[in-house]
């Protein structure tokens, strides 16, 4: 019967959060390495990740990625646990190179933060921003090639095996 089918508002919220996380793991697959995801949002998620502003951010990230690749490969930069990128050992770089790389990283992180906020905003859920950061970070780290670095939440840098 219909008696056991009723869900509390907390259960519904948890279901939506779980659906969001599963979908974002799929969607994040393409964002950094290949631009906006080719996977369409499942109807049941009601999650919007397509908008003119998100498309512009994805394009900017994609273009900048080609400039950052050599720095990921050399270990000068890595992913962070909160969906950003960071310089690993800024003091080890010549000042001019460090300044140029800091600018690229800063621009990239600005776009990443804007993307997370925009996805949360267009879905009417600004409280999702933190979860979006974590989900995207996990996915990008998992898809990073062997030898790239990521920083754990405790601050320790780890080279991906």
Tens digits of residue pLDDT in 60-78: 999 999 999 999 999 999 9
Give pTM, 2 decimals: 0.72
**Overall average pLDDT of the 13-26 stretch:** 49
pLDDT (0 to 100) of residue 49: 81
Can you list the positions of beta strands (E) in the chain? 77-80, 85-87, 149-151, 157-159
- Tell me the three state secondary structure of residue 77: strand
Measure Cα distances from 121 to 21, 115, 117 in Å: 16, 10, 6
What percent of the chain has a predicted confidence (pLDDT) above 90? 63
The whole-angstrom separation of Cα 144 and Cα 19 is: 24
The whole-angstrom separation of Cα 98 and Cα 76 is: 10
**Overall average pLDDT of the 23-27 stretch:** 46
Is residue 84 within 8 A of residue 109, CB to CB? The reply is yes
3-state helix, strand, coil in the chain (%, to 5): 65, 10, 25
Give residue-wise pLDDT tens across range 82-102.
Answer: 999 999 999 999 999 999 999
Is residue 148 within 8 A of residue 160, CB to CB? The reply is yes
**Overall average pLDDT of the 34-55 stretch:** 58
Q: Read off the tokens for 16.
A: 């939506």
pLDDT confidence band for 14 (50 / 70 / 90): low
């Amino acid at each position: 019967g219909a008696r056991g089918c009723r869900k509390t508002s907390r259960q519904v919220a948890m279901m939506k959060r779980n659906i969001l996380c599963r979908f974002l793991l799929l969607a994040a697959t393409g964002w950094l390495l290949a631009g906006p995801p080719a996977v369409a949002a499942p109807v049941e998620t009601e999650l919007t990740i397509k908008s003119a502003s998100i498309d512009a951010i994805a394009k900017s990230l994609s273009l900048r990625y080609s400039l950052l690749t050599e720095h990921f490969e050399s270990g000068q930069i890595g992913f962070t646990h909160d969906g950003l990128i960071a310089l690993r050992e800024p003091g080890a770089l010549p000042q001019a190179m460090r300044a140029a790389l800091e600018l690229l990283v800063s621009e990239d992180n600005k776009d990443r933060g804007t993307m997370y906020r925009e996805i949360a905003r267009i879905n009417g859920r600004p409280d999702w921003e933190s979860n979006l950061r974590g989900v995207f970070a996990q996915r990008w780290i998992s898809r990073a090639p062997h030898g790239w670095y990521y920083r754990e939440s405790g601050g320790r840098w780890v080279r991906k095996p």
